[in-house]
Amino acid sequence: MDFGILLLGPVEFRLDGSRDVPGTPKERLTLTALALDAGHPVTLDTLVHRVWDDRPPSKPRASLHAYAARIRRRLRTAACPALLLQGAHAYTLEIDPDLVDWHRYRRLTDEARALSGGGDTAGALARLTEADGLWHGEPLAGLTGLWAEGTRTHFTEKRLAATLTRTAIELGLGRHAELVPDLTALLDAHPTDETIAAQLMTAAYGSGRQGDALRAYDSVRRRLSEELGSDPGEALSRVHRLVLDRAPVAELLPRPAPAQPSPAAPHTLPGHGDLVGRERELGLITNVGTPGDTGTADPSGAGGGAGGGGVIALQTIAGMPGVGKSLLAVHAARLLAGRYPDGQVLLDLRTHAPGRQGLSAQAALFTLLRVFGVAADSIPADPDERTSLWRTLLSNRRAVIVLDDAADAEQVRPLLPGSSPSLVIVTSRRRLTGLPGVRSLFLDILPATDAAALFRRLVGDDRVRDPEDVARIVRLCGHLPLAVELAAGRLASRPSWTTSHLVEKLTRTPGRLAEIRDGFREIARVFEMSYHALTQERRKAFRLLSLHFGATFGPHAAAALTGLSLDATERALDSLLDDHLLSEPAPERFQFHDLVGEYARLLAAMEDSPAERDLAQGRLIHFYLQASRRAARMIHPRRFRYEPTTPSPGGGSAFALPEWRDAQEARDWLARERAGLVAAEQCARTRGRPFEAALLAGALAGFLEEDGHWSEAQRMHGPAARHWSAVGDARGEAAALIDLAGAQSRASRYSRALSSAHRALDLAGATGDPETEAEVRHLLGVIHWHLGRHGTALTFQSATLELRRRTGDAWQIARCRNNMGITHLFIGDYEASEESFHSALKGFRSCGDEREVARVLNNLSDLHIHRGERNIARRVALESLALLERIGSDTERASAQVNLANTMIAESESDEMLALYREALSVFRGVGDLRNSAATLHSIGDALHAVGRTTEAILHYKGAWTAARDIGAAHEESEARRALAALENLG
């Protein structure tokens, strides 16, 4: 059987001459990720990274399992010699690597180099020709994403390296004229590649075209100068001189240098502790050129041309202070020693060394040249000549050089060794951009398990008997390696201390920063150098941003805190990101690391007056108030809300507000900022701003109610009602009580909801406000319906409808009709229910409210289920769910999923049916919706009973009965008791 997996072109299966393309791009990416590590397990985390570039969907593992199932099905259908095996948190593609074209390509090119080195040029050319025939287009064609693009680049550069190897062999065989066109095209594609230029000059000169050879040199020289600010290296300059001297063409070919004594390779790497964790990051540095690598360099030397020069490998490691950049770099350099026999060197550029001045690029070059054996009086003073000497020195050496604690790209650029097989690893607190051939690695804090392992290793197992204490200590250290090391060192140096005593020290007021130290260092000093490198404006922004109420914040909230314009704020955020004093966990969302945030707040307390801090947080509260009220109007333009005539303090201030294209974007913004908004209301309420707190609670009421944040809503609306009562504003108090009763009802606290609603009804009557009265009566109808008092509910709903008809508000009338349709459904009056639902649909559609249309459709589906009209019910449920997938909340989608499941036949669709129920139940439980949880448990019981799983059904009925009884949901309680009784009678 002729079978293969093709990556060197569109990703495909090959089977007996035909080709089969896997379905979706993500499926092809998954196949690629597995095929690159053929025969080896690939963890789910690695697959998630490769398929989604660290921006996965909400349930990436479920998607991966689906892709793997499809790939496995294709392999089985083809009866091919490959298996996809699932292990613990990993998948393995068991296949002969030679059946993957990329692995076959690498084997053939490796054999070719070995044969060439042994003098078998014919064998080498045959292998290279066979390898090149494996390509059938752009590798991984059609696949997008950073990982896919990096892998594609790596494949392409490997092909270029093999092409140069083949060309070098053919030049040695005297095939000059036929190589000129291909080499000309290659140089056009890689205009600064000196190896290609040297080969083209040799081919042109060997064909009798000296002028063309010199023009090729001049073109490359100009491009190097203009684009990289450098001159041609010694190898290309040598070819140029020989062409000018009209030397025999054989002399232009690269020859191994004669054996001669050379100075001992320098080894200046410092001693270092063990590296805990960091396997993925270490692999990215040390496994360059292995399957799955996305780099642009090849430390093995294979990336070089025939002359032995390689593509420069430049690895940068960036991250916040104390995250372990230097340790990782040194550890990687030591592991790579066997592949870089000409030296392993570390140079501390001292950008953040306390009390020491950072090295200039020229001082660093002087030090490096001395380390590699150049006499001091032989080092030129001219900067360009010094750089040229450094590059010449390393042009044929294989060394790994760590440039530690770099300031910026300008400091590093002169230290790069040009065309060389060496590897340079640069560490920096800043993100370095603008360097040729750079591979960037961001180093984050340690995972909790690795941080705990580091602490235990440093302290010793005999001192860490309580794993919970260790977990708390490393959490208080923010999982930052240096902080963990300092805390461990402090405990190790105090034999009488226990881990619980250290926990108590770290949690003691005023904070952790002073306690995370040893005899020589403290964590705050590590942050201090980065802070003092900032401009005055950036320092002020750094301090004020730490006063934000939530864990993350957006640029508009940051602008309010700092008092800067939005443009100036975004520039400040970019600067703090580049210095790794802030992180960006999601696009346009920023956060401090725990310890950096505490350091910034400490600075704010010392350097900014109480009035300045209060003013900054006051601006943030007023921004949140303006933005959330605007969002509420977009999301719920018809929702009942109170607008006081008295403006809020600071309400006239102009803030840069987010621009939302539609209600969904406004809702998404509220969801992202929720923690900050809730904390802002609490801050306003507890720090003498009750008016702003009450307004903010009212603005957030609709969002919090619909998204299931009912506990937070109740904590806000109660104090808001008390505030309006204290200032004698009856309409404001009634509005806050309506919001409170709505949240209480959603949380199944029906007796409290009734009490709040009746107080609001009394206030509405006292003020003679028909709009408030209609809203309260509507709410009372809902609460009584939840309690199973359908007659009372219908009475309130009828009264509400009469009040709404007087105003002629079509949307409010449709809302009433929808609620009445639900009540009629539960009473059993299906005809009245259908009439009400269709009236509501007509009203909402006339108002253009798709979300309410979806809700009515969901209710109408329920009606058809009760009538036994399963097909109609399913069609309507799918229509509702399609709308809610686009514009609904999680709880609304969950309700629609329940109705869709209700339309299914348990005997033939039980798996899908139970999956929908259980997913909805998870949502209801997550938000504390006990009534819907009880109803869904009952539905699961029905489905299990229908397929004969009686014991499981009884457990679910009992759960439904208990939940309904606890909240007083009479309908759900009676249904559950009836189901249990029926099963007992059967037994």
DSSP assignment of 77-133 equals: HHT-SEEEEEETTEEEEEE-GGGBHHHHHHHHHHHHHHHHHTT-HHHHHHHHHHHHT
Report the pLDDT value the prediction gives residue 291, as an integer from 0 to 100. 33
Say what the pLDDT of residue 621 is: 93
Residue corresponding to tokens 């725990």: 594
pLDDT of residue 249: 85
Q: Nearest 5 degrees, angle CA 445-CA 446-CA 448? A: 125
Residue range 364-374: average pLDDT?
85
In order of 12, 252, 586, 669, 855, the CA distances from 55 in angstroms are 25, 51, 9, 19, 32
* Cβ-based neighbours of 246, under 8 Å, separated by 6 or more: 210
Q: Which helix (H) or strand (E) covers residue 683, if one does?
A: helix 663-686
Percentage of residues in the chain having pLDDT higher than 90:
25
Average pLDDT of 450-474? Answer: 85
Closest CA to 206 of 166, 172, 164: 172
For residue 543, which of 604, 598, 593 has the smallest C-alpha distance?
604
Give the whole-angstrom CA distance, residue 867 versus residue 426: 71
pLDDT for 308: 32
Residue 300 pLDDT:
32
Taking residues 146-164, what's their average pLDDT? Answer: 85
Give residues with Cβ within 8 angstroms of 611, minimum separation 6.
Answer: none
Beta-bridged to residue 591, according to DSSP, are 583
Region 708-722: what's the mean pLDDT? 91
List the Cα angle 760/763/766 in 5-degree steps: 155
CA dist 885 → 37, 635, 850, 857, 879 (Å): 37, 16, 12, 14, 10
The dihedral built from the CA positions of residue 207, 211, 212 and 214, taken in this order, carries a sign that is positive
Tokens of 768: 């003679």
Residues 662 and 634 sit within 8 Å (Cβ to Cβ): yes
Would you state the pLDDT for residue 647?
62
- pLDDT, averaged across the chain: 84
Calpha distance 477→452 (Å, rounded): 11
Confidence (pLDDT) at 409: 82
Neighbours of 512 (CB within 10 A): 21
Q: What is the pLDDT of residue 261?
A: 38
Considering 143-157, 230-244, 852-866, the range whose residues carry the highest mean pLDDT is: 852-866
Res. 304 pLDDT band, cuts 50 70 90: very low
Three-state secondary structure of 152-167: HHHHHHHHHHHHHHHH
Residue 886 has what pLDDT? 84
Give yes or no for a contact between 816 and 856, defined as CB atoms under 8 angstroms apart.
no
Average pLDDT rounded to a whole number, residues 497-506:
83
CA quadruple 386, 388, 390, 393: dihedral sign: negative
Q: Which of the pair, 598 or 291, is modelled with greater confidence?
A: 598
Least confident segment among 157-171, 306-320, 362-376:
306-320
* Nearest CA-CA partner of 347 in 415, 283, 397: 415
Report pLDDT digits (tens) over 556-577. Answer: 999 999 999 999 999 999 888 8
d(CA 684, CA 687): 5
Distance in angstroms (rounded) separating the CA atoms of residues 192 and 94:
41
- Which residues have CB under 8 Å from 552's CB, separation 6+? 585, 586, 589, 590, 591, 672, 675, 676
Which neighbouring-strand residues pair with 439? 315
**Helical (H) or strand (E) element with 937:** helix 930-946
Mean pLDDT of 668-673: 90
How many other C-beta atoms lie within 10 A of the C-beta of residue 118? Answer: 10
Contact 168, 199 (CB under 8 A): yes
Confidence band (pLDDT; 50, 70, 90) for 303?
very low
Question: For 615-643, what is the mean pLDDT?
Answer: 90
pLDDT at 289: 36
Nearest to 913 by CA among 871, 886, 943, 953: 943
Q: Give the pair of three-digit tokens for residue 418.
A: 């040009």
Distance CA 198, CA 925 (A): 70
301, 350 contact by CB (below 8 A): no
Confidence tier at 306 by pLDDT (50, 70, 90) = very low
**pLDDT average, residue stretch 553-558:** 92
* pLDDT at 833 exceeding the cut of 80: yes
Q: What is the pLDDT of residues 919-930, one digit of tens each?
A: 989 988 887 788
Q: Tokens 């920063």 map to which residue?
A: 513
Q: From CA 398, how far away is CA 287, in angstroms rounded?
A: 16
At 309, the amino acid letter reads G
Per-residue model confidence as pLDDT tens digits over 338-356: 888 888 889 888 787 665 6
pLDDT over threshold 70, residue 893: yes
Distance CA 867, CA 838 (A): 16
Judged by DSSP in three states, 517 sits in strand
- Report pLDDT for 293: 38
Task: Give 925: exposed, middle or buried? Use CB within 10 Å, 0-12, 13-18, 19+.
Answer: middle
How would you classify the pairing of strands 438-442 and 313-318?
A: parallel
Report helix, strand or coil for 314. Answer: strand
Instruction: List helix spans (H) across 810-869.
Output: 810-827, 830-847, 850-866
Mean pLDDT of 503-520: 69
Token couple for 127:
């292998």
The residue behind tokens 């200046």 is: 268
CA 103 distance to own-chain centroid: 31
More confident of the two residues 847 and 153: 847
User: Could you tell me if 345 and 368 are in contact, meaning their C-beta atoms sit under 8 angstroms apart?
Assistant: yes
The whole-number average pLDDT for the span 243-252 is 87
User: Mean pLDDT lowest for which of 357-371, 745-759, 869-883?
Assistant: 357-371
* pLDDT tens per residue, range 901-914: 989 988 888 888 89
- For helices 970-986 and 950-967, give the axis angle rounded to 10 degrees: 150
Host H or E run for residue 599: helix 594-607
- Residue 3 pLDDT: 80
Label residue 752 exposed, middle or buried (CB < 10 Å: 0-12, 13-18, 19+).
Answer: middle
Q: Indicate the pLDDT class of residue 804, thresholds 50, 70 and 90.
A: very high
| Mean pLDDT value of segment 496-516 | 77
Q: Return the closest-CA partner of residue 604 out of 619, 615, 620, 590.
A: 615
| Confidence tier at 296 by pLDDT (50, 70, 90) | very low
**What whole-number distance in Å separates Cα of residue 395 and Cα of residue 312?**
10
- Percent of the chain clearing pLDDT 70 (strictly above): 91
H or E segment to which residue 49 belongs = helix 44-52
Look at 157 and 894; give whichever has higher pLDDT. Answer: 894
Nearest to 781 by CA among 809, 802, 810: 802
Higher pLDDT pick, 523 / 600 = 600
Element at 941 (helix H, strand E): helix 930-946
Whether residue 288 is predicted with pLDDT greater than 90 in this model: the reply is: no
Least confident range of 72-76, 827-831, 919-923, 952-956: 72-76
pLDDT on residue 502: 82
